[in-house]
Amino acid sequence: MTSLEAVCTSLASIAPLRLAEDWDNVGLLVGNRTQSISKVMTCLTVTPNVVSEAVEQQVGLIVAHHPLPFKPLARITSDTIPGEMVLRLIASGVAVYSAHTAFDSAAQGINQRWADLLSLESVEALVPVTDQPGVAKRSDIEGTGRLGCLAHPESLQDFVSRAAAAVGASCPRYVGDPERKVSRIALACGSGGSFLSAARRRGCDAMITGEATFHTCLEAESFGIGMGLLGHYWSERFAMESLAEILAKTFPELDIWASRTEHDPLKTLPS
């Protein structure tokens, strides 16, 4: 058995909470820091299926990318899905921790993992973290998104296909000329379309993200920036599987796994 606080401390070293956006809700969101746990499960999002898996498997801690709760709950009742899930988790002694945007921006967070998967060179933050009083400067990369260069230019089509294959995304979409060569790449996991302007300012000719609005896609087309849309789930879930492996090495005495019931809710009609 290991204390919940020990795992929280390790998670905070992997994804320092100071990197989270001001609007985010991160850290230990449900649970008693002094409790002892023997099982940990990671997931992208806490859903009723994930809660059922955690309760049935007697999990002590869920490490979710997306916070639960995300916004303050005026009432915690079974009248809402978030309220019902929180009640079930508390009743079963299951804690919830989320790093969310802190993990997005961390030196070994999701966007850096994307840069590594795609073998980008000269990698840096797309939006660097500004210096904070009392926080020592770091030599590793911290900040929102990533940008980097391909060793050799690739066609947009080949590059998006390679990115999708790296995480198992089965239905990637793209914006732009599929035959156009791209080399300077922006990365923004999840709903990363809002970083298109930053990608343009930094001289990127392509961007990989999970999802973007229709109007953002039109902007990308107008700017001449190729965009690969892999799906929100596929752009982030792989990193929660990697996080489970990291935690398992740090805490070999714990039973740790990525949720086996979580799935992408979006389906594609057969052609």
Per DSSP, the residues of 72-121 read --S--STTSHHHHHHHHHHHTT-EEEE-THHHHHSTTSHHHHHHHHTT-E
**In this structure, is residue 270 part of a structural domain?**
no
Provide the residue range defining the domain that includes 129. 107-230
Claim to verify: residue 185 and residue 88 sit in the same structural domain: no
Claim to verify: residue 175 and residue 141 sit in the same structural domain: yes
Claim to verify: residue 120 and residue 160 sit in the same structural domain: yes
Query: How far is 132 from 52, CA to CA, in rounded Å?
Result: 41
Claim to verify: residue 149 and residue 131 sit in the same structural domain: yes
**Against a cut of 0.85, is the pTM above it?**
yes
pLDDT of residue 1: 82
**In this structure, is residue 99 part of a structural domain?**
yes
**In this structure, is residue 263 part of a structural domain?**
no
**Beta-sheet strands, E only, within 137-254:** 143-144, 146-155, 173-175, 181-188, 206-209, 226-229
Quick one: CA torsion of 101, 105, 107, 109, rounded to 10 degrees?
A: 50
pLDDT of residue 128: 82
**In this structure, is residue 265 part of a structural domain?**
no
β-strand partners of 143: 128
Report the chain (271 residues): mean pLDDT per 10 consecutive residues. 96 96 96 96 98 98 96 91 96 98 96 97 89 54 95 98 96 97 98 97 98 98 98 98 97 98 92 74
Identity of the residue numbered 133: P
pLDDT of residue 131: 54
Place of tokens 């850096």: 112
Q: Would strands 206-209 and 226-229 be described as parallel, antiparallel, or unpaired?
A: parallel
Altogether, the residues listed in the chain come to a count of: 271
Query: How far is 71 from 12, CA to CA, in rounded Å?
Result: 21
- For residues 251 and 42, is the Cβ–Cβ distance under 8 A? no
Claim to verify: residue 51 and residue 92 sit in the same structural domain: yes
pLDDT of residue 147: 97
The closest alpha carbon to 98, from 8, 180, 170, 32, belongs to 8
Claim to verify: residue 136 and residue 218 sit in the same structural domain: yes
Q: Which CATH number is 26's domain given?
A: 3.40.1390.30
- For residues 100 and 16, is the Cβ–Cβ distance under 8 A? no
The closest alpha carbon to 211, from 182, 261, 175, 242, belongs to 175
pLDDT of residue 130: 63
- For residues 146 and 187, is the Cβ–Cβ distance under 8 A? yes
The alpha helices in 118-213, defined as continuous H runs, are 156-167, 196-201
Our separate counts of H helices and E strands in the chain read 9, 15
Claim to verify: residue 87 and residue 147 sit in the same structural domain: no
